[in-house]
Amino acid sequence: MATIAGKAFEKYFYDFSLYDKYFKQYIKSRGQYVMLRHVAFVMVGVNLLIDVNFPFNPPFPTI
């Protein structure tokens, strides 16, 4: 499982075929594409953490 995850992350972080095929006409530089891709990766992770943990319905009384 770790090998599969490692290969997936390696493909995600080092494969630029999507940029070369589709996004080259919309995004000026490869660096900007990498930046946008990493921001999207982080935001998906943050939103996933928020969605998994809420709604928070504790068994004890809160204000």
Distances (CA, A) of 55 to 21, 36, 38: 40, 29, 27
Domain locations along the chain: 16-53
The model carries a pTM of 0.60
Per-residue confidence (pLDDT) for residue 39, from 0 to 100: 94
pLDDT, tens digit (0-9, with 9 covering 90-100), for 21-61? 888 899 989 899 889 988 998 999 999 988 887 777 778 88
Per-residue confidence (pLDDT) for residue 32, from 0 to 100: 93
- Cβ-in-10-Å burial (0-12, 13-18, 19+) of 34 comes to middle
